[in-house]
C-alpha cells in the first residue's frame, strides 16, 4: 500500500466582480424623486445580480478545470519534503520518492504505516453543486428584492412634505455699491476696515487735496481781479458820462453862436442893401453864419461819440461782472472738488473689500471701496415655464439656508424675468437642461434685515419655496418660528 501526495489547495480565482467595488446607494433621496430614479435603482440591482452570477460561473469553471487536471495525471508516488540548503543557506523542500515495499502476508507482518507530511498535503475544497448554485442565485435575488423594497419605501412610502410647492436653489445676494473718486488723485487715507458696518453719509476715505487747494487760491485771486475790473469800468463809465455832458454843452454853445451869427448876417445884409454899411461887412457876417453851422455840426458829432463811449463803458461793466461770476463759479467748483475728496458712503452697508490702498493713485471714477447694501438682500433662483406663469409679484416665499436649515426666512417675489433663458450650469434641477427657465428674485424685508443686521451674510446657498396655491397652508417645516 503506497501513499500518494495530495495536490496543494489552490487559491480561489479572483474575478472582475470581486475586484470592482460594488456601487452603493447612499444619501437620502429628495422628496420630489421621479420615475427616472426608480428606473436607475432597478438597473443598479440588475447589474449587481449579473455580476454575482458571472463570478459564480467563473469560479465553478476554474474548479472543474482543476479536477480534470487531477484525474488525467493519475496516482503519484508519495513525496516527502526534505530541507535542502541552497546557495543562500535557506532550506528548500526536496521531493523524495519512497518506493513501495513488497507485499507480505497479513498474518506474518503487520500493516505498514504511511508516512504523512502535513506540510506537503492539502485538503481540496468541495466543488459547488447545482443545488448550491441555486441557493446562491436565490440569495442574490432576495438581496435585490429587499433593496428594491427599501428604495420603493423611501420613494413612495414617505409623505411628500413639499407637495403643492415650487422650489429652486440659489444664493443670498445683495446690491453692491462702489465708492469711487470723482477726480483723479492720490488716496490719502482709508478710515474703515473690511467687514465693518458703515452708516449713510459716513466718511470712509480721504483723497489728497494739495493740488485742489492751490487751484482754489488761484481761483480766489482771479475772482478778486475780476471784481477790480468791474470797479474800473464803472469809474470809466462815470468819466464817459462827464465827457458826454461837456460835449453836449459845447453843442449848445455852438448853436447859440450860430443863432447870433444869423441875426447879424440878416442885419448886415439889410444895411448893405440900404448902403448904410459896406457889402464887405455883410459878406463877413454871412461867412460867420456858415462857420457857426459847421461848428454846431462838429459839436453834435462829438456828442454822438461821447454817447458811444458811454455805451461801451456799460458793456465793459457787464463783461467785468461776467468775469466775476465765472471766477466765483471756478471757486465754487474747486470747493466742491475739495469737499468730494472726502469719500462718503451713499448708503448703510458693510465694507466688502478695499480696491485701493493709501498712497495709490486712482483715475477719474477710480473705485476705492466696495460696499454691500444690507437693506436690499435677495435670493435669485430659476423656475420652469410650467410654474413661473403662476407666480406674481408680491408672492410669498420661504427661504431656507444651508447654514441654518431650522430657520425659515420670509420673503416676497420682487422680480420675474420677462424673457426665458437656458438653465445655468450652477443650478441643480430635476428637469433637463435643454428646457427654458425664468429668473425669479425673492427680496427679504428691510425691517427684518435691520433687526438681524449682524447676522446678514451674502453668498450663502439655500432653497426658495413658493406656494402654487395661495390659499393653501404652509407645511410645518416651512412655518415661521417666532424669534426670541
For the stretch 325-340, pLDDT in tens is 999 999 999 999 999 9
Which DSSP symbol is given to 365? T
CB–CB of 170/440 below 8 Å?
no
Q: Is 71 left (phi over 0), alpha (psi -120 to 50) or beta?
A: alpha
Q: In whole angstroms, what is the distance from residue 174 CA to residue 441 CA?
A: 11
The better pLDDT of the pair 397, 95 is held by 397
Q: What is the pLDDT of residues 437-453, one digit of tens each?
A: 888 999 998 888 888 88
pLDDT at residue 329 in the model:
94
Contact 428, 402 (CB under 8 A): no
Most confident by average pLDDT, 55-59, 78-82, 451-455: 451-455
Which domains, and CATH codes, for the chain? 16-157 (no CATH), 165-176+369-478 (2.40.30.170), 210-340 (1.10.287.620)
Reference 244, options 182, 190, 304, 177; nearest CA is 304
Which of 190-204, 396-410, 464-478 has the lowest average pLDDT?
A: 464-478
Q: What is the mean pLDDT of residues 262-269?
A: 78
Per-residue pLDDT for 140 more than 90?
no
Q: What is the mean pLDDT of residues 97-107?
A: 42
Task: Grade residue 426 by pLDDT with cuts at 50, 70 and 90.
Answer: low
Alpha carbon distance 364, 155 (integer Å): 61
User: Highest mean pLDDT range out of 253-267, 376-390, 426-440?
Assistant: 376-390
Beta-carbon neighbour count of residue 373 at 10 Å? 18
Please tell me the predicted confidence (pLDDT) of residue 120: 41
Confidence of residue 385 (pLDDT cuts 50, 70, 90): confident
Q: What angle do CA 367, 373, 376 make, to 5 degrees?
A: 140
* Long-range CB contact pairs, 256-262, < 8 A, 24+: 257/292, 257/295, 257/296, 258/289, 258/292, 258/293, 258/295, 258/296, 260/292, 261/285, 261/288, 261/289, 261/291, 261/292, 262/289, 262/292
Q: What is the pLDDT of residue 424?
A: 60
The mean pLDDT of 302-327, rounded to a whole number, is 87
Report pLDDT for 359: 92
Query: What pLDDT sits at residue 93?
Result: 43
Average pLDDT value for the chain: 75
pLDDT in the model for residue 73? 54
Q: Is the pLDDT of residue 68 over 80?
A: no
pLDDT at 208: 93
> Long-range contacts: 354-359, Cβ < 8 Å, 24+?
354/190, 354/194, 355/178, 356/187, 356/190, 357/187, 357/190, 358/187, 358/188, 358/189, 358/190, 359/186, 359/187
User: Does the pLDDT at position 307 exceed 90?
Assistant: no
pLDDT > 90: percent of the chain: 22
Q: Which residue has the cell 455852438?
A: 254
- In eight-state DSSP terms, residue 479 is S
State yes or no: pLDDT of 34 exceeds 60: no
Q: What pLDDT is recorded for position 28?
A: 45
Q: Rounded to the nearest 5°, which phi and psi values hold at 188? A: -85, -45
Q: What confidence category does residue 113 fall into, taking pLDDT thresholds of 50, 70 and 90?
A: very low
Q: Which residues pair with 349 in a beta bridge?
A: 198
Residue 143: its pLDDT value, please? 84
Q: pLDDT band for position 191 (50/70/90)?
A: very high
**Cell numbers given for 231:** 470797479
Q: Say what the pLDDT of residue 254 is.
A: 81
Residue 464 has pLDDT above 80, yes or no: yes
pLDDT higher than threshold 70 for residue 466: yes
Q: What is the pTM of this model?
A: 0.50
pLDDT of residue 158: 52
Residue 324 has pLDDT above 80, yes or no: yes
pLDDT of residue 253 exceeding 80: yes
In this prediction, residues 185-200 reach a mean pLDDT of: 92
The predicted model gives 365-378 an average pLDDT of 91
CA atoms within 13 A on the CB side of 311: 6
Residue 265 has pLDDT above 70, yes or no: yes
Phi, psi of 337 (to 5 degrees): -65, -40
Q: What is the pLDDT of residue 35?
A: 58
The confidence band for 193, taking pLDDT boundaries of 50, 70 and 90, is: very high
Measured between its terminal Cα atoms, the distance across the chain in Å is 95
Q: Is 137 helix (H, G, I), strand (E, B) or coil?
A: helix
- DSSP designation for 418: S
Amino acid at each position: 500500500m503506497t501513499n500518494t501526495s495530495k495536490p496543494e489547495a489552490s487559491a480561489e480565482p479572483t474575478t472582475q466582480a470581486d475586484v470592482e467595488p460594488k456601487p452603493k446607494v447612499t444619501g437620502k433621496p429628495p422628496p420630489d424623486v421621479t420615475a427616472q430614479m426608480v428606473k436607475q435603482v432597478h438597473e443598479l440591482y440588475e447589474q449587481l445580480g449579473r455580476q454575482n452570477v458571472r463570478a459564480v460561473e467563473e469560479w465553478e469553471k476554474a474548479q472543474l478545470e482543476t479536477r480534470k487536471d487531477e484525474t488525467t495525471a493519475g496516482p503519484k508516488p508519495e513525496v516527502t519534503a526534505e530541507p535542502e540548503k541552497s546557495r543562500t543557506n535557506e532550506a528548500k523542500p526536496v521531493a523524495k520518492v519512497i518506493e513501495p515495499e513488497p507485499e507480505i502476508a497479513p498474518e506474518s507482518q503487520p500493516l505498514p504505516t504511511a508516512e504523512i507530511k502535513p506540510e506537503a498535503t492539502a485538503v481540496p475544497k468541495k466543488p459547488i453543486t447545482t443545488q448550491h448554485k441555486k441557493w446562491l442565485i436565490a440569495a442574490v435575488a432576495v438581496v435585490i428584492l429587499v433593496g428594491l423594497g427599501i428604495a420603493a419605501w423611501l420613494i413612495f412610502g414617505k409623505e411628500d412634505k413639499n407637495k403643492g410647492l415650487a422650489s429652486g436653489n440659489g444664493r443670498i445676494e445683495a446690491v453692491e455699491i462702489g465708492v469711487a473718486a470723482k477726480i483723479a488723485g492720490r488716496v490719502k487715507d482709508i478710515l474703515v476696515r473690511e467687514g465693518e458696518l458703515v452708516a449713510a453719509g459716513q466718511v470712509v476715505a480721504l483723497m489728497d487735496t494739495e493740488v485742489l487747494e492751490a487751484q482754489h487760491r488761484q481761483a480766489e485771486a482771479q475772482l478778486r481781479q475780476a471784481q477790480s475790473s468791474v470797479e474800473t469800468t464803472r469809474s470809466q463809465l462815470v468819466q464817459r458820462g462827464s465827457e458826454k455832458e461837456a460835449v453836449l454843452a459845447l453843442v449848445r454853445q455852438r448853436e447859440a453862436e450860430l443863432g447870433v451869427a444869423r441875426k447879424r448876417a440878416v442885419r448886415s445884409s439889410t444895411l448893405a442893401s440900404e448902403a448904410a454899411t459896406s457889402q464887405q461887412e455883410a459878406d463877413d457876417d454871412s461867412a460867420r453864419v456858415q462857420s457857426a453851422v459847421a461848428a454846431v455840426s462838429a459839436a453834435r458829432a462829438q456828442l454822438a461819440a461821447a454817447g458811444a463811449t458811454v455805451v461801451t463803458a456799460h458793456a465793459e461793466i457787464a463783461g467785468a461782472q461776467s468775469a466775476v461770476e465765472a471766477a466765483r463759479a471756478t471757486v465754487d467748483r474747486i470747493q466742491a472738488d475739495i469737499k468730494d475728496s472726502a469719500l462718503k458712503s451713499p448708503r448703510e452697508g458693510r465694507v466688502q473689500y478695499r480696491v485701493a490702498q493709501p498712497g495709490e493713485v486712482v483715475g477719474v471714477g477710480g473705485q476705492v471701496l466696495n460696499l454691500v447694501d444690507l437693506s436690499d438682500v435677495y435670493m435669485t433662483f430659476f423656475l420652469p415655464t410650467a410654474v413661473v406663469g403662476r407666480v406674481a409679484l408680491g408672492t410669498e416665499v420661504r427661504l431656507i439656508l444651508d447654514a441654518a436649515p431650522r430657520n425659515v426666512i420670509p420673503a416676497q417675489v420682487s422680480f420675474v424675468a420677462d424673457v426665458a433663458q437656458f438653465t445655468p450650469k450652477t443650478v441643480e434641477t430635476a428637469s433637463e437642461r435643454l428646457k427654458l427657465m425664468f429668473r425669479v428674485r425673492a427680496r427679504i424685508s428691510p425691517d427684518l434685515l435691520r433687526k438681524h443686521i449682524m447676522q446678514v451674510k451674502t453668498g450663502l446657498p439655500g432653497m426658495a419655496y413658493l406656494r402654487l396655491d395661495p390659499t393653501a397652508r404652509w407645511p410645518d417645516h416651512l412655518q415661521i418660528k417666532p424669534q426670541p
